[in-house]
Structure 1
Amino acid sequence: MKPYYWESQHGNFGDDLNLWLWDFLLPGFREVHPDVLLVGVGTVLNSALLPKEGRKLVLGSGFGYGSPPDMRDRDLWDIRCVRGPLTAEKVGVREELGIVDPAVMVADMPDFTDRLKRYKRAFVPHWESAVAGLWPAVCKAAGLDYIDPRGEAKAVIRKIAQSELIVAESMHGAILADAFRVPWVAVSTSANINSFKWRDWAATLGVEHRPRRIPISTRAEAIVKGARFWGVDYEGAAPAVAEGNAVAVAEAPPRSGLRHAAKHALAVPSTLALWQAARAEPQLSSDTRLRERKARFHAVLEGVRRAYF
């Protein structure tokens, strides 16, 4: 089998973890059925992303953008489970197949046994925010550690596990926090944050997606997102390069002197809102609900082993 995932040119830990998670969950999967594509973690059930030819084994993927692929041919599609009930409805399978995002299984890996708390509060932005925003400086001013979602996936996840609280714009920031039993607060900087996929995952664990709004931190970030910044609307202000479900942009060069100070001053609303979010009432799914969903996913994996190994 070959794992399929959406690859950002900037890096995104929530997608990149597919590179090693399945070797832990299904050891030896790469050596069997080379004609089968394993469609795992990520919002990739999209007709524009997945190849139309070849057999696919779907294990926990989600829908969230564009249109779902035609998955009616069961000779080509083996749908064992999807991310949540909203995805199940969209792709036309039974609701009970919407089990959980497979990223929750990362917490069972021996690579992450060191969970000594080293960070009191940390912020994980969406990768698109990280590309063009001023979030490391905003976090420093707000008293939070900054976790760059574009970093090496295991290093990012380890820092999440070692935090006492996670403020998450990245959905997988919240998913991994919850899996490691770290309380989390959801935030959003723009309408680009897809609430459908958040609600899809949240429904499986009995939590809610009720994000606190955080103002965009820079003009460049507003241009990337086609959003407003200090009363100016930047919708359509910059050419976009299609990249799966988002856009690729060049990072703005660093500034110095008065312009640098002005840039930080304009990010003060972002700093205040992030400080407030870090002190809001966090969420955490129940131990019982998380165990039940992981047990159901383990049962799915057993079925896959019997069928393919």
Structure 2
Amino acid sequence: MQPFHWESQHGNFGDDLNLWLWDFLLPGFRDVHPEMLLVGVGTVLNQNLLPQGHRKLVVGSGFGYGAVPDFSDGGEWDIRCVRGPLTAAKLGLDERLGIVDPAVMAADMPEFQGLPKIHEAIFIPHWESTVGGIWPTVCQAAGLAYVDPRDEAKSVITAIAGARLVVAESMHAAILADAFRVPFVAVTTSRQINSFKWQDWASSLGLSYRPRQVPISSRAEAISKGARFWGVDFERKAAVVDPAARQAQGETATMTRAEPRSALRSVAKHVLAAPSVLALRQARKAEPQLSADAVLAERKERFRTVLADIGRAYF
């Protein structure tokens, strides 16, 4: 088998953990049935995303975008479980197959055990918010550590496990926080965040999705999202990144005479980002969520049973 991996051009740790998680959960899976795709972590149950003509083993994936896949060819699909009850209902499956997102199992990996708490509170945006956003600057002003969701997956997960509170726009930041028993506060910066997938996962653990609204951090971010910033509606443009935003995120900005980076412009950006700073401060003080220990343990045990059944069927 080979794991199906939806790869963002920017990088996204929630999708990228498919590259190694299944070697822990199903050791040796790569050596059997080379014609089969293992469809695991991610909102990837989409008719136009998954390749046709390949047999697919679905283990914990979710629906949330595009059209429902065509399951009429039973020989092409082996669906063992999905992310949650909303995905199960959308696909016409038994609700009992909506168990949990497989990413929760990363908390069982030995390399993530016993990690020290090095952050009081961290913020992890959705990867789309990093395009043009100045969130590192906003976080510094708000008193939170910034964690980039585009970074290498294990480093992001280590930061989550090493925090006492996670403010999460990224769904998998919340999923991993809950898995490591780190309280989290859900936030959103735009209407583009997919609430269906959040509710799908949350309902699997008896949680609710009530995100706090955090204003967009910069004009460039608003342009990249086609959103409103300080009362002005912007038309969406792909991959628009403000040079100052790049620099704030640790990238080198190449300036030209036509676009000087003045101190006044920098001050203006900080002033315009003030609502974002205030909202993150308030999110940090908000009542966080955490699923019940018994509920999480029960879901993980059901998922282990699915893995054991897969092992008997394919190995």
TM-score by length of 1: 0.95
- 2-structure distance, mates of 1:233, 1:250: 15
Q: Does the 8 A contact of 2:41 with 2:61 survive in 1?
A: yes
- 1-structure distance, mates of 2:228, 2:222: 6
Q: Residue 93 of structure 1 aligns with which residue?
A: 93
Shift of 1:264: 1.2
Aligned CA distance change for structure 1 residues 134 and 76 (closer, same or farther; 3 Å): same
Q: Deviations over 1:181-215 (max 9, x none)?
A: 00000000000111000000000101110000000
Q: Residue 218 of structure 1 aligns with which residue?
A: 218
- 1-structure distance, mates of 2:149, 2:7: 13
Specify every segment of 5 or more residues in structure 1 that has no aligned partner in the other structure, as ranges.
Answer: 241-248
Alignment of 1:37-52 (within 5 A): 37-52=37-52
Runs of 4+ in 1 over 3 A off after TM superposition: none
Alignment of 1:1-309 (within 5 A): 1-234=1-234, 237-240=235-238, 249-254=239-244, 255-309=261-315
Specify every segment of 5 or more residues in structure 2 that has no aligned partner in the other structure, as ranges.
Answer: 245-260
- 1-structure distance, mates of 2:237, 2:287: 39
- 2-structure distance, mates of 1:136, 1:286: 32
Number of matched residues? Answer: 299
Shift of 1:131: 2.1
Shift of 1:256: 4.1
- 1-structure distance, mates of 2:310, 2:192: 35
Q: What is the identity, as a one-letter code, of the residue corresponding to 1:267?
A: A
Q: Does the 8 A contact of 2:224 with 2:240 survive in 1?
A: no
CA RMSD of superposed structures (Å): 0.9
SS across alignment from 1:119: coil
Q: What is the identity, as a one-letter code, of the residue corresponding to 2:275?
A: P
**Whose Rg is larger?**
2
- 1-structure distance, mates of 2:210, 2:243: 34
Shift of 1:110: 0.7
Q: Residue 246 of structure 1 aligns with which residue?
A: none
Q: Does the 8 A contact of 2:223 with 2:237 survive in 1?
A: no
Q: What is the identity, as a one-letter code, of the residue corresponding to 1:18?
A: N
Taking only the aligned residue pairs, the percentage that are identical comes to: 68
Shift of 1:217: 0.4
Shift of 1:223: 1.1
- 2-structure distance, mates of 1:279, 1:161: 20
- 2-structure distance, mates of 1:44, 1:196: 13
TM-score by length of 2: 0.93
SS across alignment from 2:279: helix
- 1-structure distance, mates of 2:172, 2:65: 17
Q: Does the 8 A contact of 1:5 with 1:44 survive in 2?
A: no
SS across alignment from 1:163: coil
Q: Does the 8 A contact of 2:221 with 2:241 survive in 1?
A: no
Q: Deviations over 1:257-288 (max 9, x none)?
A: 11111011100000000000000000000100
Q: Does the 8 A contact of 2:226 with 2:237 survive in 1?
A: no
